[in-house]
Amino acid sequence: MTHVRWTLVLLIAAAPGCRPAPDRPDPVREFAGSYPEAATPDGALKTFELTAAETEVALIDGGALKVWAYNGQVPGPTLRVRLGDTVRVRFTNRLPQETTIHWHGVRVPNAMDGVPHATQPPIRPGASSTYEFTPKDAGTFWFHPHVRSSEQIERGLYGLLIVDDRAPPPYTRDVAWILDDWLLGADRQIVPHFNTPHDLMHDGRWGNAITVNGRTDTALKVAAGERVRLRLLNASNGRIYVPDLGGLDAKIIAVDGLYTRAPLPLARFELAPGNRLDLDLAITGGGRSLVVTDHFIPQRPNRLAEIEIDGTAATPSFASPAKAHVPAWSSALSMPLTHEFRLDARRGGALGIEWTIDDQAFAGHEHAHPSLVLARGRWSRLRFVNASARLHPIHLHGMFFKLLARDGIAVDEPFFRDTVLIHGRETIDIGLVPLDAGDWMMHCHILEHAEAGMMTMLAVRDPA
């Protein structure tokens, strides 16, 4: 098994660099200016204390729920800094298990990525650890454990890391909604059986209570005329949401942290586990109340929250911040393929079913080595063939990518992502120019699939 993987690495490493033909646009040149290669640490040092522990909070509909929480709250505290600031987090583990913190979507130095064994030893119960990094990008990011994630995230361990622009646009309100679902038993407590055969064979653990910021009664009170920045995060283990803002004028301005090329209509956006969406809401029509719903399964919508609109306020007028440079990469599909990954399942392994990438189930971080080497600063095109009928939101650590095609049909998403949903039996192509060296995880963000093997590592190295 081991030597099969190494053969693959050597083959890829030996493949000629993807040089474009002279008549085609160079994807690396098109990419230039999308986001910076290095951080500019010219701000302040912001220190945060985080402790993970078991606790009880009034959640869902207000009853006492036993959870695992950062600083005693679910969602955990929002860590907020400005671009240029350095984040220092002094973390203490008071859980009955080992843990780590991963900074989802943040281009951190590899050693700060929170991947147990690979980038740091797991943090034992009672132990502490410090994370420090200077974000390179402004936007909506989040943090969560990377040990036994299907249990630890499900029990309530997650929070937002918001990196403000150097000059934040003057929204009248900046609101974050974290979407999550909980599987509760008859005792109204979290069902303590994780990675069940049912969850593993389907799309992970889908709960029976959906919450926004931990509550089923979340309501946003605004006034007509306001312009609100609404940040959405899907922190569920497996559930996908298609948010519907009840007829409000909602434009997408950022996806997975980074601004889009232009403001986009919300339309039908599949917010998979790990995904973030920043919306620009123009509030109109005072004296009404809207229901925000999820339409992932169109015939079974779910209520998420309410928006209550009062009187009138002055309408601020400013240009949308969504004007990022995002390459078109329109001839990308004619460029050579760097690698094709095959996603599938089989019987076996400690959980009875294994989710595989190229017929390999992740054998644990202790034994991990990269299954593919990507050249830093060079263009790569990766294909994912979903040979299974289940959903796989694939997430890459340490890099952003752009979706190029679904089932061979070009799609132009005018934005980057760090997580993309692959539907059953679907094939997708993504393009990327990795800028950050290191060994980075790539895995399904349906946490049960990841626990059952659907993880691997991509190495980003300087080209020879």
**Given candidates 107, 136, 144, 339, which one binds ligand C2O under the rule CB under 6 A?**
144
Instruction: Please report whether residue 146 would count as binding ligand C2O according to CB under 6 A.
Output: yes
Instruction: Please report whether residue 274 would count as binding ligand C2O according to CB under 6 A.
Output: yes
On whether the CB atoms of residues 326 and 432 are closer than 8 A, the answer is no
Instruction: Please report whether residue 417 would count as binding ligand C2O according to CB under 6 A.
Output: no
Laid out side by side, the sheet with 86-94 consists of 63-70, 45-59, 86-94, 128-133
Sign (positive or negative) of CA dihedral 130, 143, 137, 213: negative
**Given candidates 250, 343, 441, 457, which one binds ligand C2O under the rule CB under 6 A?**
441
Q: Which residue is nearest to ligand C2O (CB)?
A: 104
Chain residues 420-449 in contact with Cu ion, contact rule CB under 5 A: 444, 446, 449
Rg (the chain; Cα; Å): 21
Least Å distance, CB 183 to ligand C2O, is 20
Residue closer to ligand C2O (CB basis): 146 or 449:
146
Q: What is the DSSP letter of 8?
A: H
Non-local (6+) Cβ contacts of 285 within 8 A are 224, 309
Residue closer to ligand C2O (CB basis): 238 or 327:
238
Least Å distance, CB 396 to Cu ion, is 14
Size of residue set near Cu ion by CB under 5 A = 4
DSSP-assigned states of every residue in 164-211: E-SS----SEEEEEEEEEE-B-TTSSB----S-HHHHHTTS---SEEE
Residue tagged 């302040």 (tokens): 44
On whether the CB atoms of residues 158 and 144 are closer than 8 A, the answer is yes
Instruction: Please report whether residue 397 would count as binding ligand C2O according to CB under 6 A.
Output: yes
Q: What is the DSSP letter of 99?
A: B
Residue closer to Cu ion (CB basis): 45 or 201:
201
Residue closer to ligand C2O (CB basis): 145 or 207:
145
Size of residue set near ligand C2O by CB under 6 A = 10
On whether the CB atoms of residues 233 and 176 are closer than 8 A, the answer is yes
Non-local (6+) Cβ contacts of 383 within 8 A are 337, 339, 340, 341, 427, 428, 429
- Burial class for 102, CB neighbours closer than 10 Å (0-12, 13-18, 19+): buried
Chain residues 191-210 in contact with ligand C2O, contact rule CB under 6 A: none
Chain residues 105-134 in contact with Cu ion, contact rule CB under 5 A: none
Least Å distance, CB 115 to ligand C2O, is 7
Residue closer to Cu ion (CB basis): 402 or 449:
449
**Nearest 5°: phi and psi at 133?**
-165, 160
Q: How far is CA 211 from CA 75, 129, 155, 158, 392, in A?
A: 11, 31, 13, 14, 22
Q: Which stretch binds ligand C2O (CB under 6 A): 42-50, 77-85, 191-199, 438-446?
A: 438-446
Least Å distance, CB 348 to Cu ion, is 17
Q: Which does 230 bind (CB under 5 to 8 A by kind): Cu ion, ligand C2O, none?
A: none
Q: Which stretch binds ligand C2O (CB under 6 A): 38-46, 72-80, 171-179, 439-447?
A: 439-447
Q: Which stretch binds ligand C2O (CB under 6 A): 4-12, 23-31, 332-340, 441-449?
A: 441-449
Q: How far is CA 48 from CA 44, 71, 79, 389, in A?
A: 13, 11, 8, 42
Q: Which does 449 bind (CB under 5 to 8 A by kind): ligand C2O, Cu ion, none?
A: Cu ion
Least Å distance, CB 204 to ligand C2O, is 13
Between CA 352 and CA 336 the distance in angstroms is 37
Q: Which does 146 bind (CB under 5 to 8 A by kind): Cu ion, ligand C2O, none?
A: ligand C2O
Residue closer to Cu ion (CB basis): 229 or 392:
392
On whether the CB atoms of residues 170 and 318 are closer than 8 A, the answer is yes
Least Å distance, CB 40 to ligand C2O, is 25
Structure tokens at 87: 């984040």
413-439 in b/e burial notation, b at 16+ Cβ within 10 A? ebbbbbbbbbbeeebbbbbbbbbbbbb
Between CA 111 and CA 119 the distance in angstroms is 5
Chain residues 353-392 in contact with Cu ion, contact rule CB under 5 A: 392
Q: Which does 104 bind (CB under 5 to 8 A by kind): ligand C2O, Cu ion, none?
A: ligand C2O
Q: Which does 222 bind (CB under 5 to 8 A by kind): ligand C2O, Cu ion, none?
A: none
Between CA 111 and CA 88 the distance in angstroms is 14
Least Å distance, CB 399 to ligand C2O, is 12
Instruction: Please report whether residue 104 would count as binding ligand C2O according to CB under 6 A.
Output: yes
Structure tokens at 198: 């049912």
Q: Which does 460 bind (CB under 5 to 8 A by kind): Cu ion, ligand C2O, none?
A: none
- Contact positions toward ligand C2O, by CB under 6 A? 102, 104, 144, 146, 274, 395, 397, 441, 443, 445
- Contact positions toward Cu ion, by CB under 5 A? 392, 444, 446, 449
